[in-house]
Chain A
């Protein structure tokens, strides 16, 4: 005969599969929500700027600027659209046809070497502040050499040199900006929305296992199930073990289905399969231990519902299942690492962005196991109380 805990787990699982709400929480809801996120952000995850350019100058400086905008370095970021006039460019920006526009005024090239140079004007839209930021950054980088030369002459003159000889020396010197940024590629893969929110939503709905399982324990107890089971030669702890085991199996199955569907239907990449699987098992263990703790701490069904709601939403909010944890303030990012789900999400993120294997998830798995161990130990202290009549 199977161990009593196994029989209890089997009965619990069968009951949950019959109740369609478990399948909805465990499989359908996370899939639907991950799909929605993936659809919503499809094609919008990367920044691309359509920039209107009005060249009223037609001189070499303007040509240089337009050439810089069309340089290979900016090819993926900026598409240049020539505009005939400032008002046409403004209309296009207002309507959202272009993200921003740059106006090179008539006489710009000539004015550069005069005491009062003409400004470049950017036309921006309050709804596209990123475009405004990029446009003004590109323009500023372009005029930086001109301004550096003007400032060099002024500083030398302020130090006592005559303006004419300072200007002559500058022309002879052919200066280039002495501080340069050199791009360091480090081979990271882009973190796509689905790669974060796929696991985030799967874990969020998995957390509800804590509510379901602890509630069902007290429902059973209130219906006198415990007394009846204990009348048989079954050790009391087997009942809790059975409940917790059903939570574990349900969690593993639910996560596996979600991984399979997101991989084949949405092309989500969970990274190295073995590393992802071990991370998932660790996370399910943490949920299982938390379930045991809630059963141990609560006295009634209502209390179990209350405590588990606090735990589920507390963990989800702190761990970053709702809000992409990287954009939160640093304090929130530290708090996330106090939760097992926060560590799991970090592990999935690192798997997706580094393309690495087991080494990447060693820390997250260790942290989750420490949580599981601590919570599990506290649970074994409290759990026997729940079995008292």
Chain B
């Protein structure tokens, strides 16, 4: 009974504090929203376009760019604004369509468009390659329309329309793409990326920051007072641990509910997701309890805790997928529980994983939880003895 009572007190203390509700609820949701809206960058080129004065032909080129999968078009008013955007990496390449492009196209001259990309920057060159191929597709139609008007007369405009229609029907040398590897090794993009990773980050981080409560209890002599009553030290430790688990579970379930209802995240196999959330709450509880016995002031908990939580999240692949870092950093990352949790969420969200397929991750996370809880209990019970 006393275990439950101690747990209830811990949970009630957190729920009454509006500030901790900010960190448990509002902050994670805000971060999920911002990161989810931003993370498309792993597979799309952002291309800037200046189309002022380029007329209908410019519109046609930008329409072709926009409809090309993997290209995200952003518009800029001037060439210098576009250059600043490329420099700041807001876009990876820029296309400046010349003013008077319509006349140049009709005038049978070679039309040159400016491609803003540094030759020493391979990322910008890759984006430039994508832009070139779209421009080449447009040029095919211009060449055809010019050739046709030279050969058979008539207006360039109508020949251009005819070429546009024919481009869709005349058999051309096509480029067929075939998937050789179909097993997605990262989380899907958007909110399905940000929600699970931020769940992992914030549940752990809040547990670390929550260790301030244990430190305050220790300093106020709260445990000694509890032990003066008919309460065993084991019950005190178990009660505190259960408090951490309850708060972590509540936070995780809230993120899952909001993720599913507001952001449309599909969390995968329910049983496996439940098991993963449960184990992760235990990992958080272990980390929080251990921090409570290691830090000496509440200030340390609220300053070192978040810094440590963010560092672990970075190492463990919550801030960027570990597939984009080198092998050493990936190995180092797997010394944190975060990496195993993100791996497990990836299997659930991207590979239709089940309890069986995330069993290795669950076991390792269980190991993290058991060892940290055991160590924390031992340290705390020594103090209580």
Whether B122 and A115, one on each chain, are in contact in the complex, defined by CB atoms closer than 8 angstroms, is no
Whether A126 and B137, one on each chain, are in contact in the complex, defined by CB atoms closer than 8 angstroms, is no
Would you call B111 an interface residue if the criterion is a C-beta within 8 Å of the partner chain's C-beta atoms?
Answer: yes
B residues adjacent to A (C-beta < 8 A)? 18-19, 22-23, 27, 30-31, 34-35, 37-43, 45-46, 70, 74, 83, 85-90, 95-96, 105, 108-123, 125-126, 128-133, 135-148, 151-152, 154, 159, 162-163, 166-167, 170-186, 297, 299-300, 302-304, 307, 310-311, 314-315, 320, 323-326, 329
Shortest beta-carbon distance, A220 to chain B, in Å? Answer: 15
A residues less than 8 Å from B184 (CB atoms): 126-127
Tier of interface size on chain A: 35 or more
Shortest beta-carbon distance, A331 to chain B, in Å? Answer: 9
Choose one: A45, A159, A191; the contact of B87 (CB below 8 Å). A191
Whether A155 and B162, one on each chain, are in contact in the complex, defined by CB atoms closer than 8 angstroms, is yes
Would you call A385 an interface residue if the criterion is a C-beta within 8 Å of the partner chain's C-beta atoms?
Answer: no
A residues less than 8 Å from B132 (CB atoms): 137, 141, 181
Residue of A nearest to B147 (CB): A152
Would you call A354 an interface residue if the criterion is a C-beta within 8 Å of the partner chain's C-beta atoms?
Answer: yes
For A42-78 the 0/1 string (1 means CB < 8 A from B) is 1111111100000000000000000000000010110
A residues less than 8 Å from B142 (CB atoms): 178-179
Residue of B nearest to A184 (CB): B114
Whether A138 and B133, one on each chain, are in contact in the complex, defined by CB atoms closer than 8 angstroms, is yes
A residues less than 8 Å from B297 (CB atoms): 19, 21
Choose one: A76, A133, A330; the contact of B122 (CB below 8 Å). A76
Whether A119 and B174, one on each chain, are in contact in the complex, defined by CB atoms closer than 8 angstroms, is yes
Whether B144 and A182, one on each chain, are in contact in the complex, defined by CB atoms closer than 8 angstroms, is no
Whether A353 and B181, one on each chain, are in contact in the complex, defined by CB atoms closer than 8 angstroms, is no
CB-defined A-B contacts under 8 Å, sample of 6: A33-B310, A151-B167, A159-B162, A306-B18, A326-B85, A353-B88
- Shortest Cβ-Cβ A-B pairs, 10 listed: A125-B181, A144-B136, A29-B307, A129-B43, A179-B139, A148-B140, A152-B147, A159-B152, A93-B180, A188-B87
Would you call A169 an interface residue if the criterion is a C-beta within 8 Å of the partner chain's C-beta atoms?
Answer: yes
Main SS of the interface on chain B? helix
Choose one: B85, B89, B144; the contact of A155 (CB below 8 Å). B144
Would you call A328 an interface residue if the criterion is a C-beta within 8 Å of the partner chain's C-beta atoms?
Answer: yes
Shortest beta-carbon distance, A358 to chain B, in Å? Answer: 18
- Distance in angstroms between the alpha carbons of A148 and B144 in the assembled complex: 6
- Distance in angstroms between the alpha carbons of A252 and B45 in the assembled complex: 38
Whether A350 and B88, one on each chain, are in contact in the complex, defined by CB atoms closer than 8 angstroms, is yes
- Distance in angstroms between the alpha carbons of A178 and B333 in the assembled complex: 51
Shortest beta-carbon distance, A1 to chain B, in Å? Answer: 32
Choose one: B122, B133, B146; the contact of A178 (CB below 8 Å). B146
Whether B126 and A166, one on each chain, are in contact in the complex, defined by CB atoms closer than 8 angstroms, is no
- Distance in angstroms between the alpha carbons of A37 and B121 in the assembled complex: 20
Whether B130 and A137, one on each chain, are in contact in the complex, defined by CB atoms closer than 8 angstroms, is yes
Whether B140 and A117, one on each chain, are in contact in the complex, defined by CB atoms closer than 8 angstroms, is no
- Distance in angstroms between the alpha carbons of A178 and B135 in the assembled complex: 10
Choose one: B30, B43, B109, B135; the contact of A181 (CB below 8 Å). B135
Would you call A228 an interface residue if the criterion is a C-beta within 8 Å of the partner chain's C-beta atoms?
Answer: no
Would you call A249 an interface residue if the criterion is a C-beta within 8 Å of the partner chain's C-beta atoms?
Answer: no
Known: A143-B172, A191-B87. A46 touches B123 (CB 8 A): yes
Name the interface residues of A169-221: CB closer than 8 Å to any CB of B: 169-170, 173, 175, 177-186, 188, 190-191, 205, 208
Whether B133 and A94, one on each chain, are in contact in the complex, defined by CB atoms closer than 8 angstroms, is no
Choose one: A93, A112, A134; the contact of B126 (CB below 8 Å). A134
- Distance in angstroms between the alpha carbons of A147 and B137 in the assembled complex: 9
- Distance in angstroms between the alpha carbons of A45 and B143 in the assembled complex: 38
Known: A306-B22, A326-B89. A36 touches B311 (CB 8 A): yes
Whether B181 and A96, one on each chain, are in contact in the complex, defined by CB atoms closer than 8 angstroms, is yes
Would you call A3 an interface residue if the criterion is a C-beta within 8 Å of the partner chain's C-beta atoms?
Answer: no
Would you call A146 an interface residue if the criterion is a C-beta within 8 Å of the partner chain's C-beta atoms?
Answer: yes
B residues less than 8 Å from A322 (CB atoms): 31, 34-35
Would you call A233 an interface residue if the criterion is a C-beta within 8 Å of the partner chain's C-beta atoms?
Answer: no
Main SS of the interface on chain A? helix
Whether B19 and A177, one on each chain, are in contact in the complex, defined by CB atoms closer than 8 angstroms, is no
Would you call A288 an interface residue if the criterion is a C-beta within 8 Å of the partner chain's C-beta atoms?
Answer: no
- Give the one of B119, B130, B137, B147 with max A CB within 10 A: B147
Known: A119-B174, A140-B137, A313-B27. A332 touches B38 (CB 8 A): yes
Whether A317 and B30, one on each chain, are in contact in the complex, defined by CB atoms closer than 8 angstroms, is yes
A residues less than 8 Å from B130 (CB atoms): 133-134, 137
Whether A94 and B143, one on each chain, are in contact in the complex, defined by CB atoms closer than 8 angstroms, is no
Shortest beta-carbon distance, A277 to chain B, in Å? Answer: 22
Whether B152 and A144, one on each chain, are in contact in the complex, defined by CB atoms closer than 8 angstroms, is no
Known: A43-B326, A155-B163, A326-B89. A127 touches B186 (CB 8 A): yes
Whether B121 and A151, one on each chain, are in contact in the complex, defined by CB atoms closer than 8 angstroms, is no
- Distance in angstroms between the alpha carbons of A151 and B148 in the assembled complex: 10
- Distance in angstroms between the alpha carbons of A306 and B27 in the assembled complex: 12
A residues less than 8 Å from B140 (CB atoms): 144, 147-148, 151, 177
Whether B112 and A180, one on each chain, are in contact in the complex, defined by CB atoms closer than 8 angstroms, is yes
Whether A122 and B177, one on each chain, are in contact in the complex, defined by CB atoms closer than 8 angstroms, is yes
Choose one: A22, A46, A48, A119; the contact of B175 (CB below 8 Å). A119
- Distance in angstroms between the alpha carbons of A170 and B147 in the assembled complex: 8
Whether B175 and A148, one on each chain, are in contact in the complex, defined by CB atoms closer than 8 angstroms, is no
Would you call A139 an interface residue if the criterion is a C-beta within 8 Å of the partner chain's C-beta atoms?
Answer: yes
Would you call A230 an interface residue if the criterion is a C-beta within 8 Å of the partner chain's C-beta atoms?
Answer: no
Whether B38 and A327, one on each chain, are in contact in the complex, defined by CB atoms closer than 8 angstroms, is yes
- Distance in angstroms between the alpha carbons of A140 and B302 in the assembled complex: 55
Residue of B nearest to A190 (CB): B121
Residue of A nearest to B117 (CB): A183
Residue of B nearest to A208 (CB): B303
- Distance in angstroms between the alpha carbons of A384 and B70 in the assembled complex: 56
Whether A179 and B135, one on each chain, are in contact in the complex, defined by CB atoms closer than 8 angstroms, is yes
A residues less than 8 Å from B108 (CB atoms): 178
Would you call A329 an interface residue if the criterion is a C-beta within 8 Å of the partner chain's C-beta atoms?
Answer: yes
Shortest beta-carbon distance, A88 to chain B, in Å? Answer: 11
Choose one: A139, A141, A175, A188; the contact of B147 (CB below 8 Å). A175
- Distance in angstroms between the alpha carbons of A37 and B22 in the assembled complex: 27
- Give the one of B18, B119, B122, B163 with max A CB within 10 A: B122
Shortest beta-carbon distance, A135 to chain B, in Å? Answer: 8
Whether B147 and A328, one on each chain, are in contact in the complex, defined by CB atoms closer than 8 angstroms, is no
Shortest beta-carbon distance, A38 to chain B, in Å? Answer: 11
- Distance in angstroms between the alpha carbons of A65 and B304 in the assembled complex: 56
Whether B115 and A349, one on each chain, are in contact in the complex, defined by CB atoms closer than 8 angstroms, is no
Residue of B nearest to A87 (CB): B180
Would you call A272 an interface residue if the criterion is a C-beta within 8 Å of the partner chain's C-beta atoms?
Answer: no
Whether B141 and A139, one on each chain, are in contact in the complex, defined by CB atoms closer than 8 angstroms, is no
- Distance in angstroms between the alpha carbons of A326 and B329 in the assembled complex: 25
Would you call A281 an interface residue if the criterion is a C-beta within 8 Å of the partner chain's C-beta atoms?
Answer: no
